[in-house]
Structure 1
């Protein structure tokens, strides 16, 4: 073995002399050894906090401290340290138990040559894993650099082939006012040049096709997506994409200066409401933190913070007032967090913090400080006072954290445990939490699989009634599941487990099939109904969903407009390109398309410029607060938008008649909620009594 082969073992032995004897054997075998002797868990914890170690060599037991206890500690802190246990000859069942606990091998203490060979093997395997993580990190960094150079470049850039766009970066989309790349697929670049300058542009492309490159920059008037023209400078150069020759264009708006570009870059990273980092930039920072931990360059922690009972705050203050509370909470986080903490508004009312180069104890200390600060805070908004508290989950970021999804899932689960225990507390994610979550999900997934197999789902129906005597009978289709005692479970009790198990698409298709059967049964009785059917994001992103709907309509001989398929506003915004294609596919099938929970956040409605929707369901928070001026403004805006764009609006969660006058006055088309009828197994609502 190579004498420069340095290893850093932790040696669990009865005495320092025994540890030195083993180290001496390793040196004789060719290793340069930098070891530490331990004989209890406190020693092990201290060693793990001090530096990185390569391997644990442990006698089966030292006093009351077992090798298996040391293996469990290493596993709990997430360190990639192989553990080799040695001891007296024992039976196979005992060896299997040791290996199941996480040890790499068990060696007879008399077989020292065997032990040395196993140590060499595990050190080689460890180096392979570290090399693999480093290569994975370097690859990710390379991909990231390419993305930075192209997609995230400050310079608007496009690649053209035969007059069409084959690639554009985000800055190019921004400067021309487009939302996603799909919109430019069918737009010839010539249509983006002012008509009086198109011949000049053609001449430059012709020059490039001859292998000549125009010198310097060229000035053009170009056309924005809204039809307005602006002045721009362009630089042209030959390039290739996938081996095909093409033209690279870099474009700048003449009025842009470096200071403005810097401000725009900051805006792309910033959540406008709170001033913290936005979701997209936070995910990039989390990837960076994981990559650093992956190659033993650092470790950190992730905090997931959620204010409690925020729906009540929204009901009390309205959306504008609750937004001021969120902005104040963001300032509280800034005031109480270290300067190097990465603070973000992750989604809705959820905040996240990355603490690089920190351990769980440091993260817990900060979390307790933030928890106490929010608990003592009183928010005074427009002569009303509200309070709230944090539920905070903490998840370590270390070399064995698989990916950003797992890191977030663990922090979110820890936050959920803090919330379930009453809120206003902090919980650190542990191995025990993994087992508890897996066990609960396992039971629920078993119920879900049984429900799919044995038809133990059921459908209920809630009427949707016209405020303006529009004919027709419409129902929302709502899913329920029977538990082993034949009690109904609501979707909130099982959909998370269904999502984690990848069952949402199967469940959605069960709903659509059984809704179709119900429609057919009613048609036999001479009734023509229209069903509103919710679909998950998983079904929205599944390429087979439209085909499945098409086959069902053909087999059942149902007309497409008997079904209205709903997705949430959030799903549409997060998957805008997919939602646009899905809506177009539904239109070809003559089905209708609806958005649910619209207006639940301060999300701009500009995304509706890119979607063809038939119905828009106004979020129930505005209906519950219809006397609030902000909610009335949202209702009016959505109703007017519907009239201008040709879609109809539905007020959901109508609980009493007090809001009907306001809804009718603003021109809302339909209502739905307990005021009309609770969800029922039968469709027996008397639409004639309401003029529907």
Structure 2
């Protein structure tokens, strides 16, 4: 199993609702939840509530009524400003007119929506989530950039070269070598000295000319060979290299004067080039290629330039390796590399893996990229290299992706091209020799509800869902083997579709009950066939709970699978339990009579989760994921401790999931009151029921 830590950062929107009605706030919360959005909310019915919430928690979004209790939107905004909280606020306005929108915006609302328009609110929440994600990314980049600048200034101080930074023709900083070269006492004496003073009067005209052309385009690097002049007026030969840089976060010009006698730059470039070249083909390596894709991502963002990445893989290469030996296979790689080099000319070309090559090239449009890919595919097919006196027939599959102006990262672009290449290799009955071009609309269509509904129907007909089992580690009894069962929908290519991606569509189509029955039946069969007794936690969806016949059917299914009720816990989310309160209560009573456990997942996200216990005889709860994330903060630990205490009062078991790190694990051991731990750090969900080795 590959370990990929989940990022729960914004899947778990922490929502603060400042409202004048508890009932309406709960409906609002459920509407957002059912649309698959917010998961963790707190209600402020007045000024005191609001201040307590603002001081006590980390909120990502606030929904606010014009007035709530003894407070108002205006007063809430002034508290946010006073406390330095950058929480985007959406105003839920009764009287929705251009004037109230302007008034709300001018007081700092991120958005204004009519109080009764849930669809518009959902769309607005999505916009704000995107804004938050970008803000977080930007913050992260700023921090990384700042660190890089600090490292740069350290390197600069240790450099053998003379280096200075110049803004508007004046020095703002220089290293010791530069200061010495021109005969100054310290860098402070240089501050504010014009760059003109550094070169001989006979070269002033040349320098002025260079500075003028730099003013036109600062991104270029310019060299100036001239006579440098020191404070005593004596002159020396120097080559000034001007390039764009930043100092203290401000754009400026960096000047480097090479230490004479050693042409280190050429040597460094040679070394750099050697370290980045692949020995077999002489092509550049993957890390070099990624740097080029990084550059094109920046170009796409700044200039809107479209580029394409072609990922080429030679088909059935193992066959060639075993037939011709490793040296023979290397000869094939060499001849393909030579041909590609001649064919793609100016484009960036690299060998990125065993028999995988990649090309990066600016293109006018997507069709041009497709044509290039087809040309390369067809060309390789006719190549017929001679290896050890045999003519070898080689073909390649090509995946094509694009660096568009909204491209996020070089990694993503290369991965998309690789996925397309994998798809192309499946063509022609798995023989490859095909091209697959990534269509951005594919991503949208694959996620469109029509496409998903069709897949779900097919999967039900063919029993094509798959189950995954994630252990719950008992802190009480090591011999107990309990597993939570998840369902997903395998895809022809790429990762399987998680339940969260298809259940809401299945619910709209009325198919959820069928899926849940399939899961229960197949999980119980797996448990019955397993060599040791195991307990199962089976997730049911809200729409299933509304089906009155489900409880009787489950009773029969358990008898058929010879499952003892004590080893089965049925689990549903807090949001579903709140939405289908009566039905859930009735269902839980029936299942409890059969000896089964009842668990509420995503617990603690709602406005008053404990209210559910009045209607539902829960024997266990699994806490909402953001609690685990907040364990690193003292207030997060306190909040979880107090909520665990309340849950345990009714003799209920507690599960903390989403454990991603040793630090979280450590914090949970010492917290007390936790019965089960679960998460990728302990064990990722497994494709079949098995007891993982004790770590």
TM-score range, shorter chain: 0.3 to 0.5
TM-score under structure 1 length normalisation: 0.43
TM-score under structure 2 length normalisation: 0.43
